Every structure is written in C-alpha cells, then in structure tokens.
Structure 1
Amino acid sequence: MNKVWLGLIVAFLLSIGTMGFLPSETEAEGFSDVKLTEEQQKEMAILQKEAFNQKKEIINKYVEYGVFNEEKGLKMISKFEDHYNKLEQNDFVPKWDQHHKKHHKKD
C-alpha cells in the first residue's frame, strides 16, 4: 500500500515539474507576432518555393503513375499554391494558430 502512495506522489510531482516547460496557449500562439527581416524573408521564400516545387513534382509523379487522376493532382497543386501565396502575404511567418482555430472549432 505504501508503494502505491509513493508512486502516486512521485507521478504527481513529476507532472508538476514538467508543466513549467510546456508553453501556455497564449505563449504558443505568440509566434505569429514575429517579424522576419528582409534577409530572413528571402531565405524562407527560397526554402518554401523549393518545398512547393518538390511537392508539385511528387504529385505529378503520382498522376503519371495513376495514383491520382489529373484533376485531383491539379487540385492538390492549387492548394499548395494557395498556401505559398498566403505565406508570402504574411512575410513568410506561418499563421497556423488562426488556421487551427478556423478548422477545429468545438461546438
């Protein structure tokens, strides 16, 4: 019985100890207030464009191999283009918290 209580106390203390390392909801959303320098924006633009082109190439291969039809492939590429354009409008700072709230509202 003493071992059970000791285990519960240790588990409780460990869970309290880790709480200080987890960001609160407001801290987690604070990244959207960050402003990138011009140099950082240019670097992110290059990386995001490379990622977009890679995704586009992968989708085109899936279309070529018959995994997706051409219509679905174009639709997927269009979504990636929209995502890239939104990043560009936001100076390459992701606004994931807004997207998450928009699509995952609890009723």
Structure 2
Amino acid sequence: MKKAALSLAAFFITAMVFTMPAHAAGTKMPSTMSLTEQQKKEIESLEKEVLEKRKHVISKYVEYGVLPKEKAEHIKQHMDRRFNMMKQNGFVPKPPPHKLEKRHHHS
C-alpha cells in the first residue's frame, strides 16, 4: 500500500511539473499574451489527450484498489474543472498571484 501511495504521489508531482507556469522557472510572462485560434485548437487537442490519459491512470488506481471510486471521481471532476478553466483562459497559463515576501527587519 505504501508503494501505491508513493506511486500516486509521484504521478501528481509529475503532473504539477508539466503544468507549472513559466514564472516558477524564473521567466516573466506577459500579462496580455494570447494565442491564435489555430494555436488554441492545437493546445486544446493536446490538453484533451493529456486529460484522458490522466483519467485513465486514475481509473487504473481504482481497478488496482489503490483509490476508492468516490475519491477517483472527485479527482476526475477536479481535472475537468481545471481543463475548462484553462479553455476559458484561452490556454494561456496565468501567472501565480503575487506573494508577499517575508521581510526581515534588521536593527
């Protein structure tokens, strides 16, 4: 069971790495960036393929007894909501919200 949990964690970490915004890599993204309709269609097609593959993996975890069916459905619904949000945003990743830096005050 521990091995399965580690595999599941590795899957989600990998998923996060591939969907990480460019900002995290140290590059700034223009706030007005947009894609052409053709580019959006191509990205949508690729994202749909990725979504279906990820859902298939989740289904396999259910089949192998790693995840309960209810949890898997919740995960899949979240994946669908995220896909729809990306589509709504024209498949251009949004930069993360501004995070306040910890300020160190020296006397």
**Alpha-carbon RMSD:** 2.6
Equivalent residue runs for 1:1-107 within 5 Å: 28-98=27-97, 101=98
Other structure's SS at 1:50 match: helix
Runs of 4+ in 1 over 4 A off after TM superposition: 104-107
Q: Residues 89 and 45 (structure 1 numbering): CA distance in 2 closer, same or farther, change over 3 Å? A: same
Whole-Å separation in 1 of the counterparts to 2:42 and 2:36:
10
Whole-Å separation in 1 of the counterparts to 2:100 and 2:66:
32
Q: Which has the higher helix share?
A: 1
Unaligned runs of 5+ in 2: 1-22, 103-107
Contact map agreement 2:40 2:91 (CA 8 A) in 1 = yes
**TM-score, normalising length: structure 2:** 0.63
Q: Which has the larger radius of gyration?
A: 1
Over residues 48-96 of structure 1, what are the superposed CA-to-partner deviations in whole Å (9 max), with x where a residue is unaligned? 0000000000000100110000011001101110110010000111114
Whole-Å separation in 2 of the counterparts to 1:32 and 1:58:
34
| Percent of pairs with identical residues | 35
Aligned residue-pair number: 79
Whole-Å separation in 1 of the counterparts to 2:95 and 2:52:
21
- Relative contact order, higher structure (CA 8 A, sep 6+): 2
